[in-house]
């Protein structure tokens, strides 16, 4: 066993760390014998010198093993999940989990809260009265087995080393380095005991990594490390140069997801990403022989109402109202001010600063500026214009739901600044690339 400072010095000098060193350091993070200063120094050494594929796998497995590792071997079907790197209007998890469950998969989805300008799945589900996002493990297992899906938050005993290391990275400017990003994301998914994982890695103005090359590198690393750690994984690179859905805000996105599930409204771009990710999950779980067959099964789950039925059962099993799908307006909070925002000139939407749209929702109270901030679930923006849409006196940029007139005015100004009106540019492919490869050390 080496001293912690020797391990840090080795990585500082660009050395490749053996598995034992990595396990020792993560164990020290978990039990407190590694100080915050040492953890920060290690994170910075990794930031500058990186880690190879074998080191990344070892780090991810050590973080997985820092707490409880769930097992789903008693299920009659595969345990499957998806993870998105986040964006604006990305509420795919809600209809997706239910659709995959309707196709014979089991989805123990452990989700997070909003980060920066991006919305969090748990914050959306907190908008549903009575829904328990932090159930005990017993109830979580019961709902997954009986319904086929359960969307909850991370428990304290799943990958606790990640929670401590992330907090240190957050205040030492080391969040963005790929080895630490990958281990943070995948340690929690591996701890969830999955049999297959579909990754949705975003690029574009509303993504965590706007640059395509950087997003591609992250996607490749995620697939490589996940497969190396024994979790079959594929990744899709999807465009977040505009909001994925026309709604952004917690209760508003829940309502949007309910419309999608019931067929009251299904927007093509949102549907395309949802079906694509669902198909990947079915193929990974060997519930369909190929992607074409898998897409057909997901489409049928939506068209038949089977996905909606699964979602309704999940909500009820976790404490939510039984008639949420039929009467969402009875249960979801509504803002007192609801007014459209028009552009200063007519024309086509040529470009959207999607991150700025997300920050407009945060400023309304729909996200957090500080971790302890409360969230106003009622506020947000709907009917958001997309790239190429014609804007004028009969078509606003969006409809803002605000707590008061001052908040509406501030959000309106932000929304106008986020849109550039001019000549419509052709949209690129929504799903730009599919990454599936095997691990090689």
Q: Find the CATH number of the domain harbouring 387.
A: 3.90.1170.30
pLDDT at 167: 81
Query: Considering the entire predicted model, what is its pTM?
Result: 0.93
Q: Which of 121, 174, 234, 274 does the annotation list as catalytic? A: 121
Same domain membership, residue 204 and residue 118: yes
Task: Give the model's pLDDT for residue 373.
Answer: 75
Domain count, the chain: 3
Per the structure, the complete domain to which residue 411 belongs is given by 333-422
116 has a pLDDT exceeding 70: no
Question: Does the pLDDT value for residue 216 go beyond 60?
Answer: yes
> Which listed residue (84, 133, 234, 354) is catalytic?
84
Same domain, 253 and 109: yes
Question: 300 and 340 share a domain?
Answer: no
Residue 437 is assigned to a structural domain of this protein: no
Nearest to 105 by CA among 274, 277, 308, 285: 285
Q: What is the average pLDDT score of the chain?
A: 93
In three state form, how does the secondary structure of 68-136 look? CCCCCCCCCCCEEEEEECCCCCCCCHHHHHHHHHHCCCEEEEEECCCECCECCHHHHHCCCCCCCCCCC
Would residue 118 show up in a list of annotated catalytic residues for this protein? Answer: no
Q: Answer with the one of 301, 327, 353 that is the final residue of a domain.
A: 327
pLDDT for 223 equals 96
Q: 404 and 314: one domain?
A: no
From the candidates 54, 56, 124, 169, give the one annotated as an active-site residue. 169
Q: Is 82 a catalytic residue?
A: yes
Q: Is the pLDDT of residue 441 over 60?
A: no
The SS3 call for residue 340 is: strand
Active site residue 339: no
Is the same domain home to 133 and 176?
yes
Q: Is 84 tagged catalytic?
A: yes
Report the alpha-carbon distance of residue 356 to residue 67 in Å, rounded: 37
Grade residue 439 by pLDDT with cuts at 50, 70 and 90. very low
In a domain, 441, yes or no: no
Res 426: pLDDT = 79
Q: How far apart are the C-alpha atoms of 405 and 44, rounded to whole Å?
A: 45
Choosing from 83, 195, 202, 269, the catalytic residue is 83
Active-site position among 30, 56, 60, 81: 81
Kindly name the residue from 23, 64, 113, 189 that is annotated as catalytic. 189
Same domain, yes or no, for 123 and 204? Answer: yes
81 is catalytic: yes
Which of 56, 124, 164, 188 is labelled catalytic? 188
In a domain, 282, yes or no: yes
Q: What is the pLDDT of residues 283-335, one digit of tens each?
A: 999 999 999 999 999 999 999 999 999 999 999 999 999 999 999 999 999 99
Catalytic annotation present for 189: yes
Exactly one of 23, 64, 82, 313 is catalytic; name it: 82
- Per-residue pLDDT tens over the stretch 26-72: 999 999 999 999 999 999 999 999 999 999 999 999 999 999 999 99
Confidence label for 440 from pLDDT (cuts 50, 70 and 90): very low
Q: In what order do the strands lie in the sheet with 390-391?
A: 390-391, 347-352, 419-422
Q: How far apart are CA 40 and CA 44, in angstroms?
A: 6
Catalytic residue among 85, 184, 262, 412: 184
CATH number, domain at 114? 3.40.1030.10
Instruction: Decide if 378 is inside a domain.
Output: yes
**pLDDT 10s digits, 352-390:** 999 999 999 999 999 876 666 788 999 999 999 999 999
């Amino acid at each position: 066993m080496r001293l912690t400072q020797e391990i840090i010095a080795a990585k500082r000098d660009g050395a490749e760390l053996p598995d034992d060193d990595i396990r020792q350091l993560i164990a020290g993070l978990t039990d407190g014998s590694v100080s915050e200063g040492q953890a920060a120094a290690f994170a910075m050494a990794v930031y500058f010198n990186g880690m190879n594929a074998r080191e990344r796998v070892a780090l991810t497995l050590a973080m997985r093993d820092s707490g409880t590792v769930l097992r789903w071997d008693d299920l009659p079907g595969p345990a499957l999940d998806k993870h998105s790197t986040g964006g604006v209007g990305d509420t795919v998890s809600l209809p997706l989990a239910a659709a995959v469950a309707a196709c014979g998969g089991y989805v123990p989805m452990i989700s997070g809260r909003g980060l920066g300008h991006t919305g969090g799945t748990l914050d959306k589900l907190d908008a549903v009265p009575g829904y328990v996002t932090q159930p005990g493990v017993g109830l979580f297992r019961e709902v997954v087995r009986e319904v086929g899906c359960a969307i909850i938050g991370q428990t304290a005993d799943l990958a606790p080393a990640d929670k401590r290391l992330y907090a240190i990275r957050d205040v030492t400017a080391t969040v963005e380095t790929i080895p630490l990003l990958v281990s943070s994301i995948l340690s929690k998914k591996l701890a969830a005991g999955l049999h297959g994982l579909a990754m949705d890695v975003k690029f574009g103005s509303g993504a965590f990594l706007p640059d395509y090359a950087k997003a591609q590198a992250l996607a490749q690393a995620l697939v490589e490390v996940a497969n190396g750690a024994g979790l079959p994984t594929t990744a899709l690179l999807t465009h977040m140069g505009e909001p994925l859905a026309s709604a952004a805000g917690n209760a508003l996105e829940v309502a949007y997801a309910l419309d999608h599930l019931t067929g009251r409204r299904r927007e093509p771009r949102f549907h395309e990403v949802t079906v694509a990710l669902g198909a990947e999950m079915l193929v990974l779980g060997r519930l369909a022989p190929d992607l074409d067959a898998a897409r057909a099964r997901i489409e049928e789950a939506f068209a038949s109402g089977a996905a909606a039925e699964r979602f309704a059962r999940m909500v009820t099993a976790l404490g939510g109202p039984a008639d949420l799908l039929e009467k969402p307006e009875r249960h979801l909070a509504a803002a007192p001010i609801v007014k459209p925002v028009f552009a200063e000139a007519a024309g086509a939407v040529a470009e959207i600063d999607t991150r700025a749209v997300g920050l407009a929702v945060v400023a309304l109270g729909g996200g957090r500026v500080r971790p302890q901030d409360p969230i106003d679930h009622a506020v947000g923006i709907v009917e958001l214009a997309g790239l190429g849409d014609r804007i004028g006196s009969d078509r606003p940029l969006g409809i803002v739901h605000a707590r008061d007139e001052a908040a509406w005015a501030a959000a309106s100004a932000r929304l106008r600044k986020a849109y550039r009106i001019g000549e419509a540019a052709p949209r690129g492919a929504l799903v730009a690339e599919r990454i599936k490869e095997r691990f090689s050390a």
